[in-house]
Amino acid sequence: DVSGVPFALRGKRPMTIGADPHNRISIQGLGVLPRHAELRPMGNPKRPRVIIRSLDPANPVAVNGLEV
């Protein structure tokens, strides 16, 4: 979710997350870079998956407090 609101991930194109408002998912917060991470949809409609990766190796991505 983004600011407590669920965000549906649709389509097959990668999308960026970060503080810059030009990202598909724009979030603000301490430690959030302008272009922080990329979400890459994988799998198929019956078994969807999303891969997340950092766009800056010096600033890893954490999900629920764990680096990914």
- For residue range 29-38, what is the model confidence (pLDDT) as tens digits? 888 899 999 9
Distance between CA atoms of residues 36 and 62, nearest Å: 11
Q: Is the pTM of this model over 0.85?
A: no
> Closest Cα to residue 25, out of 1, 42, 48, 44?
1
- For residue range 2-49, what is the model confidence (pLDDT) as tens digits? 566 676 777 788 999 999 999 998 988 888 899 999 999 888 878 888
> Closest Cα to residue 38, out of 58, 65, 56?
56
Distance between CA atoms of residues 9 and 29, nearest Å: 21
For position 3, what pLDDT does the model report?
62
Distance between CA atoms of residues 24 and 41, nearest Å: 14
pLDDT at 1 over 60: no
